[in-house]
Chain A
Amino acid sequence: MKYAFFPGCSLESTARPFDLSTRAVCRSLGIALEDIPGWVCCGSTPAHASNDSLAVALPALNLQKAQAAGVPVMVACASCYARLRTANHRIARAPEDRRRAERVTGHPYDGGVEVRHVLDVLVNELGPDRIRAKVRQPLTGLKVACYYGCLLTRPPEIVAFDDPEHPSSMDELMAAAGAETVDWPFKTECCGASLSMTNSEIVCRLTHRILSMARESGADCLAVACPLCQVNLDLRQADAGKAHGALPPMPVLYVTQLLGLALGLSADVLGIDALTVSPRTLLAKCGAVAPTSAGGIA
């Protein structure tokens, strides 16, 4: 199983633990990843809210670069994933979008390079059974609220690997890892996304609701698959508590970090200590890690 990997800008910075854990998990499961050479930013929300041709051309350039490898593209960031899929969708369906993307990038492209999210590959290509067979350190007793956010499942005609209102792929993965997933109603509620930069008070209101509901539903931690969701729920957790009432600390881990621990990978390799709310104490209870980090930053 081989993929051309599109890391995206966040995975080089605030989502470094997502980058580390995605690569480590894929290596451990026999999924070969090769970075798209010379990849560039997908444009994200600032592009689609400012200039439509730029919003299609930047993803198209990356997909043109990936085409040479002759394998599907894998993306970890939910936002990059949605931008790449949207560009493909439009280029393949609307001749004027295709002509414009080709004019702007200067290269032909028919929208045909397949784009998959890491969650989609793990659940629908590899499958929970094959993953369960490789679990060496089941996350027994850990109660996880799987939080999908917006762009992994919406809009369904563009992303289409899970249900837009009641997704289950992350839950299946966590169950395969031996964790218990809680049934809760905010799986696809928005965290406020890039309003974190412009209106952080709105993000605090939204994340406070999400974290409170996860706690109320009996979860010990949240599993996420989007860099912006992780930052908003983890880095802004203290701000949310200050603004809307104290919250008991709730670790927010990338789903690939939790899966990696279940596969027996070390906390260091998975960037476990690069989260704001440390999950060490919690994870030590199910024997997944030592209670304190050996390295220093916690």
Chain B
Amino acid sequence: MTRENSPGKGEEGMTQPIPWNGSRLLEEVQQCSGAQVSACFQCHKCSTGCPIGPEMDFLPSQIMRLVHLGAESEVLASRSIWLCASCEACTTRCPMAIDIAAVMDALRILAIERRIDLPDARGKQFHRSFLGSVRRHGRVYEMGMMAAYKLRIRDLLSDVEKVPELVAQGKLSLLPNRSGDIRQVREIFRRSKEEEGKP
């Protein structure tokens, strides 16, 4: 364990993470999110305003602290990072201007990259199904996206009763509405995949 970056080395030392348990989580999250998580001083403003707080296993301020501590397995396997609704209330209110919603995104991306065994895979499967639809059609084809998602989570019945009404109101199309520029979209998916992992 190195103490090179510990406080007491002046200003520079204060802004460097202390790798006390050998984890590089803080640096990785800061790199991936562009947010300065190390600036968090635990005022809990993010947690008090979080609409999803009651359902979370760790509140946003606790997630920040766990990132400081390099508690990788706790953070990346938490339910909270998938429950965040990206409402941006925390990002807007943080007195240190930390983009907390972007930190949640970064943690979801890291959890997938590291093939973490997720406590609930619905968020991941929804994102996969949604983006699969965009890659295929250039736009979201809701009927197809929902079918793909429901197959993945093995829950075909919930909300099915709403479908006839939506179809009658012209809100769910039985066929996809394709964008004219589907080839460009596929290129973008291919190249953005290549960009993953680049610094």
Contacts and interface: CB of A to CB of B under 8 A. Distances in A.
Nearest to B112: A50
Contact of B83 (A46, A199, A273): A199
Contacts of A37: 180
Given A54-B188, A190-B51, A202-B52, A41 B139 contact: yes
Contacts of B195: 53, 100, 103-104
A13 B145 CA distance: 13
B180 A38 contact: yes
Given A14-B171, A41-B139, A50-B131, A150 B122 contact: no
Contacts of B177: 12
Contacts of A61: 181, 184-185, 188
Interface residues of B, number: 60
A193 interface: yes
A225 to B, nearest CB: 15
A106 interface: yes
Contacts of B82: 198
Interface in A192-251: 192-195, 197-200, 202, 205-206, 235
A37 B166 CA distance: 27
Contacts of A45: 86, 127
B183 to A, nearest CB: 10
Interface stretch (A114-122, A123-131, A151-159): A151-159
B51 A192 contact: yes
B13 to A, nearest CB: 27
Main secondary structure of the interface of B (DSSP, over half): helix
Given A38-B181, A40-B139, A50 B127 contact: yes
Interface residues of A, number: 59
A49 B125 CA distance: 12
Contacts of B89: 150, 154, 188, 190
Given A45-B86, A154-B89, A297-B169, A51 B108 contact: no
A43 B192 CA distance: 12
Interface stretch (B20-28, B61-69, B70-78, B157-165): B157-165
Interface of B: 32, 34, 51-52, 54-55, 82-83, 85-89, 91-92, 99, 104-105, 108-109, 112, 122-123, 126-128, 130-131, 134, 138-140, 142, 146, 149, 158-159, 162, 165-166, 168-173, 177, 179-181, 184-185, 187-189, 191-193, 195-196
27 contacts: A15-B171, A16-B170, A40-B179, A41-B134, A41-B139, A46-B126, A47-B134, A49-B86, A51-B192, A52-B105, A53-B195, A54-B131, A57-B188, A61-B185, A150-B87, A151-B88, A154-B87, A154-B89, A155-B99, A192-B85, A193-B86, A194-B85, A195-B83, A199-B122, A200-B158, A235-B166, A274-B171
Interface of A: 9, 12-16, 37-41, 43-54, 57-58, 61, 65, 94, 100, 103-106, 150-151, 154-156, 164, 188-190, 192-195, 197-200, 202, 205-206, 235, 273-276, 297
